[in-house]
């Protein structure tokens, strides 16, 4: 998507669709006047209320606009940047559905929009552009097109050009917002692409390769440990989960260093289970295909590190991705096995479907021992229990540091990637005790997301600023819970980027 800015008069803005955005307040103030100026009847305003994401098309142009069609777009009350992101997603989605390749948006009211949102013009535009990337996203790389006889190849399948119309005084702010929105939006779509790939197209080696390619594009270092190196390290958790697989595991370290001295070092760890059958503790067949998304945490780490590099943030970001699939081969680990993790802590495997915490355990310990970061955050599609607690749109947050938890929650609210803090009290320790090992990977009945977090806490070597984000619900949209899209959502990228910017 090529995004350009111009200062042409609205009548002379030439595109397949001209978009006139309004908040509820600006619609009442300027709506009738602008429509009359462009030669349209004002009766449409009886139906258009400017709700966030509301779109109404106007046809029968009188020749007073150069664009082929005009759309009214609602920004809602416009008090949150999320309203602008939602609107961007709505209008770009409609443009793709209608095969409109060129879209122009009149943002000459950006100063008022930013004031209403109590934000900067750049932030408002960035949110809108992020929404445009999200709404126009389609995963069709595995479609041959041979079965769709009605496809008109002469019409564009995506938005080729997005034009943002600006006043001269706001040009710099809008260009800054566009640049930021492009980075975050495209990195989130990169994450979605990885999550949407099925298991036969994305193994552990492919996750590592995606990280290497990102590092080469954006100028940061990536190191991939193969199975032999993982064995030499003694990463017993990752190796145990991989025992049932014909595909070797990988452990990938992404290391973005800013040009100057880094203000802080932030480690982000992502669960990279490329497909989760449950292992010997086999999952039900219904819905198992969705388990290709069990590497969404890893994908979000790649997206976030790439975004940090492209934005040249002044903070060092170390991404760590343990990756494997979890399969029920004859050599697979069994319930009741006892394994020794990279930390030296022994684990009784109560359930082989509680595999994500085993591979994260090794990566968390490695992060502390080798990088001593100021902050550690892990993201993982860890438990179905978190979906039971919070549904499909909100992630569970667990942290041993109140300030860190507060900052992550605030980033979640700003970016519409909401998290809700869950307890991490000592009482839950008893639920993961083992009679024959140091700890069990299976908690007692109930509080499944909490006991999973308590398990991970054992492997951070006493680090004082750690957070675990369980993204099982919002990372993959199944159509449940009112979701309007299906497949990978890229959840976590915007959240992490906002957090990194503010901690830097």
Q: List, by residue number, the catalytic residues.
A: 283, 357
Q: What are phi and psi of 17, to 5 degrees?
A: -145, 130
Alpha-carbon distance values, 318 to 215, 323, 361 (Å)? 12, 16, 16
Residue whose entry in the numeric block shows the structure tokens 């994260």: 360
What is the H or E stretch that residue 110 is in?
helix 110-117
Q: How far is CA 109 from the centre of its chain?
A: 29
Helix axes 448-457, 356-371, angle to 10 degrees: 30
CA distance linking residue 277 with residue 15, whole number of Å: 48
Nearest to 500 by CA among 403, 413, 407, 418: 407
b (16+ CB within 10 A) / e for 177-194: bbbbbbbbbbbbbbbbbb
CA distance linking residue 92 with residue 258, whole number of Å: 34
> What is the number of other CB atoms lying within 10 angstroms of the CB of residue 129?
30
8 A C-beta contact, residue 417 and residue 393: no
Helix axes 81-97, 121-135, angle to 10 degrees: 30
Residue whose entry in the numeric block shows the structure tokens 């819970």: 481
Q: How many residues belong to the chain?
A: 504
> What is the number of other CB atoms lying within 10 angstroms of the CB of residue 9?
10
Dihedral sign of CA atoms 138, 141, 146, 152 in order: positive
CA distance linking residue 56 with residue 497, whole number of Å: 33
CA distance linking residue 254 with residue 301, whole number of Å: 9
CA distance linking residue 115 with residue 125, whole number of Å: 13
Q: What share of the chain is helix, strand, coil (3-state, %, to 5)?
A: 40, 20, 40
What is the H or E stretch that residue 304 is in?
helix 296-310
SS3 of residue 242 by DSSP? helix
CA distance linking residue 268 with residue 302, whole number of Å: 10
Alpha-carbon distance values, 138 to 97, 161, 163, 368 (Å)? 10, 16, 21, 38
> What is the number of other CB atoms lying within 10 angstroms of the CB of residue 103?
27
């Amino acid at each position: 998507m090529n995004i350009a800015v111009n200062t042409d008069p609205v009548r002379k803005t030439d595109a397949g669709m001209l978009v006139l955005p309004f908040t509820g307040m600006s619609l009442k103030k300027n709506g009738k006047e602008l429509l009359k100026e462009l030669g349209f009847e004002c009766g449409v305003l009886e139906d258009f209320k400017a709700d966030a994401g509301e779109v109404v098309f106007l046809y029968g142009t009188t020749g007073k606009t150069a664009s082929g069609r005009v759309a009214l777009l609602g920004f809602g009350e416009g008090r949150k940047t999320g309203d602008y992101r939602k609107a961007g997603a709505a209008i770009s989605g409609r443009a793709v559905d209608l095969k409109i390749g060129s879209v122009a948006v009149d943002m000459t009211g950006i100063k008022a929009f930013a004031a209403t949102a109590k934000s900067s013009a750049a932030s408002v535009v960035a949110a809108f552009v992020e929404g445009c990337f999200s709404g126009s996203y389609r995963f069709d790389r595995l479609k041959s097109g041979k079965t769709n006889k009605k496809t008109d190849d002469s019409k564009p399948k995506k938005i080729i050009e997005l034009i943002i119309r600006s006043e001269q005084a706001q040009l710099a702010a809008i260009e800054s917002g566009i640049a930021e929105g492009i980075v975050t939006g495209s990195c989130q779509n990169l994450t979605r692409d990885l999550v949407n790939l099925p298991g036969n197209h994305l193994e552990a080696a492919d996750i590592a390769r995606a990280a290497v390619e990102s590092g080469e594009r954006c100028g940061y270092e990536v190191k991939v440990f193969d199975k032999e190196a993982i064995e030499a390290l003694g990463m017993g958790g990752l190796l145990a989960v991989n025992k049932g697989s014909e595909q070797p595991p990988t452990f990938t370290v992404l290391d973005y260093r800013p040009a100057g001295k880094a203000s802080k070092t932030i480690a982000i760890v992502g669960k990279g289970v490329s497909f989760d059958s449950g292992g010997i503790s086999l999952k039900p067949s219904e819905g198992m295909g969705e388990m290709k998304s069990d590497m969404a945490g890893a994908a979000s780490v790649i997206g976030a590190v790439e975004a940090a590099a492209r934005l040249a943030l002044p903070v060092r970001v170390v991404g760590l991705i343990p990756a494997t699939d979890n399969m029920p081969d004859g050599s697979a680990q069994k319930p009741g096995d006892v394994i020794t993790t990279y930390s030296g802590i022994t684990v009784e495997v109560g359930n082989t479907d509680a595999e994500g915490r085993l591979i994260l355990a090794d990566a968390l310990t490695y992060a502390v021992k080798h990088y001593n970061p100021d902050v550690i955050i892990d993201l993982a599609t860890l438990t179905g229990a978190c979906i039971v607690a919070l549904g499909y749109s909100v992630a569970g947050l667990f942290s041993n540091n109140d300030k860190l938890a507060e900052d992550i929650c605030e980033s979640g609210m700003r970016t519409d990637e909401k998290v809700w803090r869950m307890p991490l009290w000592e009482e839950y320790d008893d639920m993961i005790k083992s009679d024959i090992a140091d700890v069990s990977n299976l908690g007692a009945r109930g509080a499944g997301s909490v006991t999973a977090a308590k398990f991970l806490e054992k492997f951070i070597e006493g680090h004082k600023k750690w957070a675990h984000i369980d993204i099982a619900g919002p990372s993959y949209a199944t159509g449940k819970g009112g979701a309007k899209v299906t497949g990978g959502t890229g959840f976590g990228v915007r959240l992490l980027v906002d957090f990194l910017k503010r901690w830097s």
